[in-house]
């Protein structure tokens, strides 16, 4: 009788373990990865051996059930033995299917670490070999920057996206620096008031400069740029000629430059602005470092 009770208790414990293992199917993988409590860490390990462990437990159940049947039939009448076997079968099947039972999950959490520990030690070498194989065969499916760009675009449409849209746009902008041309950021020469080197700083010029809201303004002569003057000069000074404050050491770039080339040129020139020319070296306008930086990092201008 003692042996019978022991076997029934063992069957109950094993059913609890099976039910807990089956719960893994209903736990999202990313939620398991995010959680770092001891049980979740053991669950991560168990996922690798889930099918193997579950099969082993069913084999143990079959053996214990066979022993149960043998004891019952031997010690009881045939009818009583069959009735008890049917009841046990229904109870155990109910336990296996009761995947959300709090009692089963509680008992499963108690016994789960033990079986995981044993299984993990027995299969440690196999796990390492399997990991090496999976790493060799795993492919991201990304071959060039266009694939990354497409991946970010899809991520932007995800309803449950946990990455800020601004962060995704920053990544997208950074990987596309070679794709975009500087011509999109040029402030056309016609946008600025006409300022010549010999012009005096007058209230009229100061008023025209304020309307542009640009940190630097081009100085032209015969429709060709000869220098650049800082906007702050018109605030601090109200007398003198433009040429007294003009920077004649100006740097030129082609309108075909990519943003990557432009940023590199900004670094080497140590300027906050560059003069953009067309294929015939004609002056088109100015490009500002701050405009490109604001675009890359999705900042408010």
Mean pLDDT of 60-70: 69
What pLDDT is stored for residue 199 in this prediction?
93
Q: Check whether 72 has a pLDDT greater than 70.
A: no
Rounded Cα distance, 14 and 20, in Å: 10
Q: Check whether 3 has a pLDDT greater than 60.
A: yes
What pLDDT is stored for residue 116 in this prediction?
58
- Strand pairing report for 252-254 and 273-277: parallel
Q: Check whether 223 has a pLDDT greater than 80.
A: yes
pLDDT in tens, 196-221: 999 998 888 888 888 888 999 999 99
Mean pLDDT of 228-252: 88
Q: Check whether 229 has a pLDDT greater than 90.
A: yes
Structure tokens that stand for 294 in this block: 């604001």
Rounded Cα distance, 171 and 83, in Å: 68
Does 182-296 carry CATH code 1.10.10.60?
no
pTM beyond cutoff 0.75: no
pLDDT in tens, 242-298: 999 999 999 999 999 999 999 999 999 999 999 999 999 899 999 999 999 999 998
Domain ranges of the chain: 2-137, 145-175, 182-296
The average confidence (pLDDT) of the chain is 77
Alpha helices in the chain (DSSP H): 2-23, 29-34, 38-75, 78-97, 102-122, 124-137, 145-156, 165-175, 203-212, 233-236, 259-269, 289-296
What pLDDT is stored for residue 99 in this prediction?
46
Mean pLDDT of 233-243: 81
What pLDDT is stored for residue 88 in this prediction?
61
Least confident of 37-46, 147-156, 176-185, 222-231: 37-46
Least confident of 5-9, 87-91, 155-159, 211-215: 87-91
Q: Are 96 and 19 in contact (CB under 8 A)?
A: yes
Rounded Cα distance, 224 and 221, in Å: 5
CA distances from 256 to 110, 141, 155, 186 (A): 67, 32, 31, 11
What pLDDT is stored for residue 90 in this prediction?
61
Query: Which is nearest to 113 in space by CA: 201, 53, 34?
Result: 53
What pLDDT is stored for residue 197 in this prediction?
94
Q: Check whether 108 has a pLDDT greater than 50.
A: yes
Rounded Cα distance, 203 and 13, in Å: 91
Mean pLDDT of 150-157: 89
What pLDDT is stored for residue 232 in this prediction?
87
What pLDDT is stored for residue 100 in this prediction?
43
Residue that wins the pLDDT comparison between 65 and 206: 206
């Amino acid at each position: 009788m003692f042996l019978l009770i022991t076997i029934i208790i063992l069957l109950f414990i094993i059913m609890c373990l099976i039910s807990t293992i089956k719960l893994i199917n209903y736990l999202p993988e990313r939620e398991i990865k995010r959680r770092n409590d001891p049980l979740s860490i053991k669950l991560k390990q168990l996922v690798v051996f889930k099918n193997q462990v579950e099969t082993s437990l069913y084999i143990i159940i079959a053996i214990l059930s066979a022993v149960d049947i043998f004891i019952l039939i031997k010690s009881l009448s045939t009818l009583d033995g069959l009735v008890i076997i049917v009841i046990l079968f229904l109870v155990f099947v109910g336990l296996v299917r009761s995947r959300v039972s709090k009692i089963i999950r509680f008992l499963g959490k108690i016994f789960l670490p033990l079986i995981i520990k044993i299984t993990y030690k027995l299969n440690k070498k196999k796990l390492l070999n399997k990991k090496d194989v999976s790493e060799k065969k795993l492919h991201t499916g990304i071959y060039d920057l266009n694939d990354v760009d497409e991946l970010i675009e899809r991520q932007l449409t995800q309803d449950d996206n946990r990455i800020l849209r601004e962060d995704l746009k920053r990544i997208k902008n950074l990987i596309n620096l070679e794709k975009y041309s500087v011509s999109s950021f040029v402030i056309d020469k016609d946008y600025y008031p006409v300022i010549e080197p010999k012009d005096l700083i007058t209230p009229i010029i100061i008023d025209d400069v304020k309307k542009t809201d640009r940190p630097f303004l081009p100085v032209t002569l015969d429709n060709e740029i000869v220098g650049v003057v800082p906007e702050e000069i018109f605030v601090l000074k109200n007398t003198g000629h433009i040429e007294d404050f003009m920077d004649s050491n100006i740097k030129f770039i082609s309108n075909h430059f990519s943003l990557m080339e432009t940023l590199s040129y900004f670094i080497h020139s140590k300027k906050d602005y560059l003069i953009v020319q067309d294929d015939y070296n004609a002056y088109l306008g100015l490009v500002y470092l701050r405009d490109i930086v604001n675009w890359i990092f999705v900042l408010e201008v």
